[in-house]
Every structure is written in C-alpha cells, then in structure tokens.
A and B are shown apart, each in its own frame.
Chain A
C-alpha cells in the first residue's frame, strides 16, 4: 500500500510562470490537506479538500493559489504567476475520514522560483 505520493519532488519555475503540484492520497483516503513550509518555519495549513469539494481554504492566499481534488485523479495545487516568495516546500497529507485526528504526509514538493 503506497503512501501519499507527491510529484514532482522538485520544481523550478521562473517568476510569472505557473506551478502545478500533484498529490495522490493513500488508497482508500478521500480527505486531502495541503501545507506549506517556508525556510526555517513550521508547516502552515493551506487547504482541506474532500473529493470534488473544498472544505476549508482558510490558509490559502487570496490570489494566485487554487486547489482541486477531482472525482478521478490526484489533487492539484496550482500557483499562478509565481513570485520568489512562493519558494517553499509544499506537503500534502491524506486521511481516511473526518475526525481521524492526524494524517499521513507525503515527501513534499520543493518549489524554487528563480
């Protein structure tokens, strides 16, 4: 049973380009969470999704960032017109059900904006 799979592991984008980060949850998990870790900081919650629904996006920046978790396929975190401040490690996690009180993280995507 594979864990949470994130790809790519490393992504380099020029300022102004779009970044697409993908996350495949663990088998049987229908809840996905995205977190961002800036250098020398802890992980910060961005968004919580269930299949086809955004449940909590209170941590998402208001502009340029969007997330989806379609009925089929991985969850996608999309950052449009990237800026240097978007450089960070982006972690995805999944859980089986609401109220599971803790979840499994993927290895992350390290985004570098040059």
Chain B
C-alpha cells in the first residue's frame, strides 16, 4: 500500500527553467510534508517542508505547494541549476508519529 506516490520516475529540465516535481498521498492523517534531495552514495538531505495549515512555503529557489483537497503537493525549483540534478523524495508524517513515509523518488536531471 503506497501511501505516498511520486508517479514520475524521472524528469529532465533545461538549466534556468522551472522544475516541477509532484507527489500524491492517500492517508488523510498526514499533516506534515517534506522534500529530501539525495545524491548517489549519500544520505537524503532535507530541503523544505510544509505543514497542513499552510498551502505554500518558500525558501530561496524552492517552493512547496500543498493542495489538501486533492492530497497533492509539488516542489518548484526556479531557476534550475546543474547542481540540482539528484533524486528527490517526497515524505509525509502524521501528528504524534515520528515515522516518515517516503515516495519512490523522482530523478531530476538538469540539462546545461
């Protein structure tokens, strides 16, 4: 039972353009969402998060949007840079539960 889904295994974007990564979830108990970035042979690195009381959170080039009614969130990266090439994981947790449920990841490739 995949409670967090990232339906695009890969995405290629031209340098300087916007990258949009999508994530869907099914568990209505989730109230906190995170994006992690992962390079090969390294651990995931926290990027940005959003609580369910918000619909948008911004940090520099990264913005996360949350649509609770659609159970959908997206990560926007603008402008995209070559160093953004990595695997991006969406994760979710429920209040009172420290466990994170991860999606399967989207491999983002930025084309110079």
Q: Which residues of A contact B (CB under 8 A)?
A: 4, 6, 31, 33, 35, 40-45, 48, 55-56, 58-59, 91, 93, 95, 98-99, 101-108, 110
**Contact segment of B57-65, B66-74, B97-105:** B97-105
Given contacts A101-B93, A102-B34, contact A45 B99 (CB under 8 A): yes
Contact of A108 (CB < 8 Å), options: B6, B42, B45, B105: B42
Establish whether residues A58 and B99, one from each chain, have CB atoms under 8 Å apart when the complex forms.
yes
Establish whether residues B102 and A107, one from each chain, have CB atoms under 8 Å apart when the complex forms.
no
Q: Which residue of B lies closest to A48 (CB)?
A: B98
B36: which A residues are within 8 A, CB to CB? 105
Q: Add 11 more A-B contacts to A43-B89, A43-B102, A104-B46 (CB < 8 A).
A: A6-B43, A43-B91, A45-B101, A56-B97, A56-B98, A93-B43, A98-B98, A99-B98, A102-B34, A105-B36, A108-B41
B105: which A residues are within 8 A, CB to CB? 42
Closest 5 CB pairs of A and B: A105-B43, A42-B102, A42-B104, A43-B102, A45-B99
CB distance from B91 to the nearest CB of A (A): 8
